């Protein structure tokens, strides 16, 4: 008895193979940059004690008050699917005493996050992020390094129409002075703001600058900004960060009204935006969180990091290459007669042992259908096993890019010891 179709939960989606190739390309670029910058991989659980996020992110933040997936398990413990990665990394840093083994801990992660927000382009209730974290240094050079890593990842993915915006949002003691001036400015016009801005005014006024409503943006045009209330020490720190970015050849703009959406941020903050995405144009962001380790039970330890949503990055990337464009140095084995299927299978396994991709038909298709399948595979080459050539110990090598084909010695093909030898063998054709 067949039942009703079960669909993915609203706000979630399947990442199908065609899209997964782009997803993998992004993670590969991130991993390569992490290796270049000496960041080790960390993988934390997808659910944590709810208190980790309420204490770390901030009980009044939108994430905690509106967006978290929280539930009680059979032991009546309050657990939450992680809405972001930094709090989990800091929890792990404290729990495993990572700072005692090395002064500066540099890690990166990639994986699913969960927020119950309204799904829209590039934003889902289960989404994927990658991020870098550096815990243990207050030196401005580490700020510049991690910003450069963030920027260079986007560069390596071909995102040309991007802009880096930097700011400093100071420390809590500086925010007190700013909050008074900001409150004095806002109070006479508070009724003109949206409901969310009114709530933010009561909990975290700085985040009013994060509102996307044009009416609210206009009202805040002349509002006091945190940057103008920085202490001499923090202003010097920020200026030094900018000097390091200049030395690294990283272009940026100062945005005094730019804030971050999570409460743990301090001092340096930044966003990378892409005009291609319209009003919701941020593809990545980060900042310092110099008080977070202590808030979560560790010793006072500075930290800094960034995160990027993979779905947002995919939208900002150049249009994907046309289907049928060839990049993979791989082989699709075609048989003209089913009696050569075992030979084909042995050849596929041989090529795979060389560390190269290979595939064949497993549905008993006709020669014509197999060639279509070879064309869709994305491999550079097909190898055709046919009676006339097999009788002479040969096979047909077809270049799937330009359709040229040549005979190739089957024994020679089976005797190659590595991918380089195979490449040289086909390179002569």
pTM, rounded to two decimals: 0.83
Sorting pLDDT into bands at 50, 70 and 90, what band is 323?
very low
Residue 367 confidence (pLDDT): 92
pLDDT at 79 > cutoff 90 = yes
**CA neighbours closer than 13 Å in the CB half-sphere of residue 142:** 23
pLDDT at 199 > cutoff 90 = no
CATH code at 17-170+230-316: 3.30.930.10
Domains 17-170+230-316 and 328-427 share a fold: no
| Nearest-angstrom CA–CA distance, 49 and 36 | 34
- Tell me, rounded to whole angstroms, the distance of Cα 74 from its chain centroid: 33
CB within 8 A of 131, min separation 6: which ones? 85, 86, 89, 108, 109, 110, 286, 305, 306, 307, 308
Mean pLDDT of 212-227: 88
What phi, psi does 378 have (nearest 5°)?
85, 5
pLDDT tens digit sequence for 2-44: 678 999 888 888 888 878 888 999 999 999 999 999 999 999 9
Percent helix, strand and coil across the chain, each rounded to 5? 45, 20, 35
| Nearest-angstrom CA–CA distance, 42 and 213 | 37
Tokens of 118: 């309204």
pLDDT tens digit sequence for 52-63: 998 877 665 666
Sorting pLDDT into bands at 50, 70 and 90, what band is 261?
low
Mean pLDDT of 271-298: 89
Residue 402 confidence (pLDDT): 85
Residue 321 confidence (pLDDT): 55
CA-based torsion, 185, 190, 192, 193: positive or negative: positive
CATH code at 328-427: 3.40.50.800
| Nearest-angstrom CA–CA distance, 92 and 94 | 5
CB within 8 A of 7, min separation 6: which ones? none
* Nearest in space to 399 (alpha carbons), one of 371, 380, 419, 376: 380
| Nearest-angstrom CA–CA distance, 72 and 70 | 7
pLDDT tens digit sequence for 301-321: 999 999 999 999 998 988 765
pLDDT tens digit sequence for 391-418: 899 999 999 888 888 888 888 888 887 7
The total of other beta-carbon atoms located within 10 Å of residue 5's CB is 5
| Nearest-angstrom CA–CA distance, 409 and 412 | 5
Partners of 71 in the β-ladder: 79
Tokens of 83: 């809405």
Domain ranges, ordered by start, for the chain: 17-170+230-316, 328-427
Mean pLDDT of 386-390: 89
Residue 413 confidence (pLDDT): 80
* SS3 assignment, position 26: helix
């Amino acid at each position: 008895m067949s039942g009703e179709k079960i669909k993915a939960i609203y706000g979630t989606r399947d990442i199908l193979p065609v899209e997964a190739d782009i997803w993998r390309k992004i993670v590969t670029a991130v991993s390569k940059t992490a290796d270049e910058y000496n960041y080790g991989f960390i993988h934390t659980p997808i659910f944590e004690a709810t208190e980790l996020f309420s204490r770390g992110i901030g009980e009044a933040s939108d994430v905690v008050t509106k967006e978290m997936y929280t539930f009680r398990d059979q032991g009546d413990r309050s657990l939450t699917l992680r809405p972001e990665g930094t709090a989990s990394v800091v929890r792990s840093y404290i729990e495993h005493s990572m700072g005692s083994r090395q002064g500066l801990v540099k890690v990166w992660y990639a994986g699913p996050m969960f927020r119950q927000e309204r799904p829209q382009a590039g934003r889902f209730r289960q989404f994927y992020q990658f991020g870098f974290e550096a815990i243990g240094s207050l030196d401005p050079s580490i700020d510049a390094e991690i910003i450069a890593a963030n920027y260079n990842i986007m560069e390596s993915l071909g995102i040309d129409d991007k802009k880096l915006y930097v700011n400093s949002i100071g420390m809590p003691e500086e925010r007190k002075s700013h909050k008074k001036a900001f409150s004095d400015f806002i109070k006479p016009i508070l009724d003109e703001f949206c409901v969310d801005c009114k709530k933010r005014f009561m909990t975290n006024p700085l985040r009013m600058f994060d509102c996307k409503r044009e009416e609210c943006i206009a009202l805040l045009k002349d509002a006091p900004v945190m940057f103008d209330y920085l202490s001499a020490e923090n202003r010097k720190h920020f200026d030094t960060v900018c000097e390091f970015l200049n030395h690294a050849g990283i272009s940026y703009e100062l945005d005094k009204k730019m804030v971050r959406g999570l409460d743990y941020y301090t001092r340096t903050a930044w966003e990378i935006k892409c005009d291609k995405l319209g009003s919701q144009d941020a593809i990545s962001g980060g900042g310092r969180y110099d008080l977070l380790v202590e808030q979560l039970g560790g010793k006072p330890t500075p930290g800094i990091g960034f995160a990027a949503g993979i779905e947002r990055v995919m939208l900002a990337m150049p249009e994907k290459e046309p289907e049928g464009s060839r990049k993979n140095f791989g082989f699709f084995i075609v048989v003209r007669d089913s009696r050569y299927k075992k030979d084909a299978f042995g050849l596929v396994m041989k090529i795979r042992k060389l560390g190269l991709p290979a595939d064949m038909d497993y549905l008993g298709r006709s020669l014509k259908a197999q060639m279509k399948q070879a064309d869709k595979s994305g491999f550079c080459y097909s190898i055709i096993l046919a009676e006339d050539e097999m009788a002479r110990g040969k096979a047909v090598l077809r270049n799937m890019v330009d359709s040229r084909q040549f005979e190739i010695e089957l024994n020679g093909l089976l005797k190659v010891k590595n991918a380089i030898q195979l490449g040289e063998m086909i390179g002569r054709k």
